[in-house]
Amino acid sequence: MIDIWQATMVTGQLGVNCYFLGCPRTRQAIVIDPGGDGSRILALLEERDFVLKTVVNTHGHFDHIGANRTLIQKTGAELLLHEADLSLLRGAADHAASFGCQPIEPSPEPTRLLKDGDRVEVGAIGLDVIHVPGHSPGSVCLKSGEDLFVGDVLFAGSIGRTDLPGGDHLLLLKGLHSRLMTLEDSVRVYPGHGPETTIGRERKSNPFLNYFE
């Protein structure tokens, strides 16, 4: 079994966790949620001798897509996003301005629109797409073995906010219970902000997940 290179970089104005996955055989990489700092992202990939093949946005909010344009223009990588968040992606620059944040470059259009059950593959890397709406209509989680990249649907001790356009609190809670809490306790959770956690830890102690108990 090939050991996948993995790294994390906190990026952008709101401190988004940008995740790197690299295949040591093909030297191709996936970047998940490049919130900003495109030059830093590219520098790390170059330092580790990886070529960026795919950028995946777990959802279309401005803080998770700020480096999309830089990465796509510099590398020609494909851009993946769930189809339900396309309008959010297109309006991300205006959304950033409404929060009083510095302007971001508009994102290119996605190369591929994701759906629940899709699989993203680059070299030996495989990510299974799990659609968990509620934080945004098209929020997805990406599962690779025991690793789960959850964007903003789940955090250590909390869940994603649902007061933004397209948010739905009850829908998010239902999705968390039916799609994520069915996973094994050992699954490692990598959120869009803050520290990593596990499914078991959140099942036991996350107060927001007691809703249906």
The number of beta carbons lying within 10 Å of the beta carbon of residue 14 is 18
Which residues, in sequence order, are CB contacts of 197 under 8 Å at separation 6+?
A: 155, 156, 157, 188, 189, 191
Q: Which letter does DSSP use for residue 3 in this model?
A: P
**What residue ranges in the chain does DSSP mark as E strands?**
5-11, 16-23, 28-32, 51-56, 78-82, 112-114, 119-122, 125-131, 140-144, 147-151, 154-155, 158-159, 188-191, 197-198
> Average pLDDT for residues 167-179, to the nearest whole number?
96
Backbone angles phi, psi at 27, to 5 degrees: 60, 30
| The pLDDT of residue 49 is above 90 | yes
159 pLDDT band (50/70/90 cuts)? Answer: very high
Instruction: Please count the helices (runs of H) and the strands (runs of E) in the chain.
Output: 6, 14
pTM (two decimals)? 0.96
In this predicted model, what pLDDT tens digit does every residue of 108-145 receive, in sequence order? 999 999 999 999 999 999 999 999 999 999 999 999 99
| The predicted structure's pLDDT at residue 212 | 53
- Which domains does the chain carry? 5-210 (3.60.15.10)
Map residue 122 onto helix, strand or coil: strand
CA distance 120 to 97: 32
